[in-house]
Amino acid sequence: MKEFVIYRNEYLKKNVKGYYNTDYVGYENPGNPDYINNLKNTFDNFSQIKLKNASDKLYSVLKNDLSNFDRSLTICVVPRSKAENSYSANQLFFKRTIQRIIQDLGFEDGSNYIIRHTDTKTTHLSHTEYAGSGSMPYPGITKDTCFISDEVREKNILLIDDIYTSGVNIDEDTIQSLFDKKANSVIFYAVAKTKKF
């Protein structure tokens, strides 16, 4: 597990400590964690075996990394770009795998504390016809498009996402939304961080 800093900007009012497991170097490139892409199941056409294998790989990575964090943390999940009720069960394996880890390792479950109710553009597909409807990131997009539970108040949050990419700012905006809801602290964890070439 590697450490980095998410620096304050127009989306985020203060620096936040972040962690990630591996570099994201592009789908189907050698060494890339393609299981993350498989779990997105963007077109809802992957087999149960493929999804289970991807989920098992994610579980193994999370179990190894999250074992290093204090169990008093509340784990929240950065929501996918579209309204949660628009996804099939087979497109929510990432979140369901995190819920398994929360239970198995004994963290407080905040996995449903941030629920998207309004679609936003899928940023990693923004240059394609599959980006979907809604807005690209802007400061405050999380508060405008998500229900954020009052339960985050005074909690120490471990916020998890699949891939962190500098400059996209969805993670920064989500972190700030937790602070605005009076979370005590936020640590960020991504399974992968996009490598800059």
CATH number of the domain at 178, please.
Answer: 3.40.50
CA gap 108, 14 in Å, rounded: 25
Q: pLDDT band for position 137 (50/70/90)?
A: confident
Residue 65: domain span: 2-194
Cβ atoms of residues 2 and 20 within 8 Å: yes
Dihedral angle computed from the Cα positions of residues 126, 128, 132 and 135, in that order, rounded to the nearest 10 degrees? 30
Mean pLDDT of 111-135: 75
Structural domain total, the chain: 1
Mean pLDDT of 14-27: 97
Cβ atoms of residues 120 and 81 within 8 Å: yes
pLDDT at position 121: 78
Mean pLDDT of 47-55: 96
Q: pLDDT tens digits for 154-191? A: 999 999 999 999 999 999 999 999 999 999 999 999 99
Residue 157 buriedness (CB in 10 A; 0-12 / 13-18 / 19+): buried
- pTM for this prediction: 0.94
pLDDT at position 135: 75
Tokens 């790989």 found at: 57
CA gap 57, 148 in Å, rounded: 29
